[in-house]
Structure 1
Amino acid sequence: MLRYAGVALFSTFLLGSCTSTKKYESVLAQKVKLERDKADCQSALSKSRKESADLSKQVASLTEYRSQLAADTTLLGGTLRKTQSLYADLSSTYDKLIKNHDRLMANSALESSKLSKDLSRRDEELNKLNETLTKNRSQLDQLSKDLKTREERLNELERILAEKDKAVNALRAKVSNALLGFNSKDLSVDVRNGKVYVSLSEQLLFKSGSTKVDVKGQDALRKLATALKDQQDVNVVVEGHTDDVPVSRGTAGMQDNWDLSVLRATEITRILTNAGLAGTKITPSGRAENVPLDAAKTAEARQKNRRTEIILTPKLDELFQILEAN
C-alpha cells in the first residue's frame, strides 16, 4: 500500500507543474525516506518471522521438557518418600550409635587408665630389658674376645699336635728301621693313642719263668737304645706282662706274676740304660696278667699275653702349658 501511495503522490506532483521546486525536493526527500522505512520494515518483518520460528521451536522444546519434568517429578516424589523413610531409619540408628558411643567413651576412659598403667609397667620392663641387653652385649663382647683367644690357642694346639704326630711317626719309622732284622711274630712296632709301642714276645726275651734276657733279646734292646739315645723329648715306659698261669712255687725271689712282670721290666730297663739310654727317661712297671691281648684260656692266647711292651711317649710340655693356660 505504501508503494501505491507513493506513486499517486508522485503523479500529483508531476501534474502540478506549477509546484515549486522546493516542494518537489521536499516530496522527493519524503519518498526516499519512505522507501528506506519500507526496506527497514521488510528487514524487521523477516527478523520477526525468524524469531517467531525460533520461539516456536523453544516452545516445543520447553513443552517436551515440561512433560519430562512432570515425569521426573513423579519419580522424584517416590524417591523422596523412600529417602524420608531411610532418613528416619538413619536417625534412629544414629541415636543408637550416640548412646553406644557414650557408653564406649565411658568404658574407654577406664581402658585408657588401665592401658596407661600397663604402658608404664612395660616401660619399666623395657628399661630393665635394655639394661640386661647392654650387660649381655658386654658379656658377648668379652666372650667373643675369649673365643678368639681360645681359637688361637686351639690353632696352636692343633699345630703342636700335628708336630707331635709327625714326631711320633718319625720315631716309629726310626725304631722300625733299627729293629728290621727281627721276626715280626716276636717283635712289632705300632702307634696307638699318640704313642709308639714296641712289643717284644717272651720267646725273644726270656725263657719260661726266667727274668734274664736271652742274647738275641739283648741285641734287640741295644739296637733300640741306640735308636733312642738322641730322642731327648721321649719318655720310655717298660711294661712287663704275664699270662694268667701262677708262677711255680719255690721260684726264687718271686711270689706271683706281679713279681715276675716287675723283675722282667727292671731287667730290660737295666739293659737299656747300660746301652746308653738315660735312666731319667725310663720307667719300669709290671702289669702281671691284668692287661691281656687275648682273654682266651688257650696256649696260643697265653703265649700272646706273655710279652714286654716298651712304650715311647713324646714329651708334651708345650701342649700342657697351653692346656693350663686355658
Structure 2
Amino acid sequence: MKRIVVILALAGLTLTSCGSKKKIAELEQKNKEIQDMLNSTTLKLNTCLAEKDGMAARIQDLKNSNEDLIKTRDDFATLSTKGAENIEKSLESLKEKDLKISRLQDALTRKDSVTLALVTSIKRAVGVNDPDIEVNVEKGVVYISIADKLLFKSGRYEVTNEAKRVLGKVAAIVKDKPDFECMVEGHTDNVPINNPVLVDNWDLSVKRATSIVRVLQNDYNIEPSRLVAAGRGEYVPLEENTTAEGRARNRRTRILILPKIDQFYDMIEKEMKNQTGK
C-alpha cells in the first residue's frame, strides 16, 4: 500500500513538472513575440522621430525661405520704384536730346535751303552754259570755279578786263548776302614758274587770289572784312598734271561763298528759341 502511494506521488510530481515546462515554453514564446513587437515598435518609433526631426528642419527652412522671399519682394519693390524713376528720368533726357536734335536738323534744313537758293541765284547770274565757270556745292559750301584763262594771262597775276566782267556778277551775289563771307582760293598746275617776281607756283596762286580780292574790294565795294585770300598752289589738283588738258583744269580760281560760322550758330540758336517759344 505504501508502495502504491509513493508511486502515485512520483507520478503526480512528474505530471506537474511536465505541465510547468510546457507553460514555461509557452510563456517564453509569448515573451519572444512581445520582444519582437517591442523591437519593431521601437524601430518604427525611431523612424517616426527621425522623420519628425526632418519635417521640423524642413518647416524651419521653409520659414527661412519665406522670410527671404518677403525680404526679396520688399527689396525688389524698392528697386522697381527706383528703376521706374530712373527709366522716367532717362526717357525725359532722351526727349530733350531728341528735341535738340530736331531743332538742329531744322536749322540745318534752313541752311540747306539758303544754300540751294544761293546756288540758283549764282547760276542765274554768272550763266550755267559757260564751260569755264562751274557752280557747285561742296560739304555745304557754295563755290564758283573759274578757269584761269578767263582771269589771268599765262604766268601772270594781273586780272584781265574780261575777268572783271565775270567778277562783277560774283560781286553782286556777295553784296546781296551780307551774312556770308567770300574766300578766293588760287590753284595752279605743277609746271615751275619762270618769273623773277614770283618764287614758285604757291606764290603765284596767292598773288592771283589777292588780285581778285582787291578787285572785289576796290571795283565793287565789297567790305574787306568779308574777304579772304588763299593760295593752294599745285597741291590740290583736280586731275593729273601729265596732260595739257589736266594742267588746264588744275589752273583755276575758286570763289567760296560761305556763311559766317558765328552767324551760322546764331541761326541755329534762333531756330531753337523759335521751337521752344522762348
**Same fold per superposition (TM over 0.5):** yes
Deviation for aligned residue 1:307: 0.8
Equivalent residue, structure 2, for 1:264: 208
Deviation for aligned residue 1:296: 5.2
Deviation for aligned residue 1:221: 0.7
Structure 1 unaligned runs (5+)? 1-95
Root-mean-square deviation (CA, aligned residues, Å) is 3.1
Is the 1:243–1:306 Cα contact (8 Å) retained in structure 2?
Answer: yes
Equivalent residue, structure 2, for 1:318: 266
CA 141–225 in structure 1, closer or farther in 2 if over 3 Å, else same: same
Structure 2 unaligned runs (5+)? 1-42, 274-278
Deviation for aligned residue 1:118: 4.7
Residues 91-122 of structure 1 show CA distances to partners (whole Å, capped at 9, x for unaligned) of xxxxx999987655543443444454455455
Q: What is the TM-score normalised by the length of structure 2?
A: 0.70
Residues 213-251 of structure 1 show CA distances to partners (whole Å, capped at 9, x for unaligned) of 111111111121012212122122211112222323x53
Equivalent residue, structure 2, for 1:302: 247
Is the 1:265–1:284 Cα contact (8 Å) retained in structure 2?
Answer: yes
For the residues of structure 2 that align with 1:299 and 1:100, how far apart are their CA atoms?
Answer: 111
**Which structure is richer in relative contact order (CA contacts within 8 A, separation 6 or more)?**
2
For the residues of structure 2 that align with 1:296 and 1:287, how far apart are their CA atoms?
Answer: 15
Equivalent residue, structure 2, for 1:278: 223
Stretch deviating more after TM superposition (215-224 or 290-299) = 290-299
Is the 1:178–1:223 Cα contact (8 Å) retained in structure 2?
Answer: yes
For the residues of structure 1 that align with 2:116 and 2:109, how far apart are their CA atoms?
Answer: 11
For the residues of structure 2 that align with 1:117 and 1:104, how far apart are their CA atoms?
Answer: 20
Is the 1:239–1:287 Cα contact (8 Å) retained in structure 2?
Answer: yes
The DSSP-based 3-state class of the residue aligned with 1:167 is helix
- 2:108 maps to a residue whose letter is L
Equivalent residue, structure 2, for 1:56: none
Deviation for aligned residue 1:183: 5.7
Residues 191-229 of structure 1 show CA distances to partners (whole Å, capped at 9, x for unaligned) of 222221100111111122211111111111112101221
Query: Could you tell me the percent identity over the aligned residues?
Result: 32
Q: Which has the larger radius of gyration?
A: 1
Residues 174-194 of structure 1 show CA distances to partners (whole Å, capped at 9, x for unaligned) of 1111112x8622111122222
- 1:269 maps to a residue whose letter is V
Q: What is the TM-score normalised by the length of structure 1?
A: 0.60
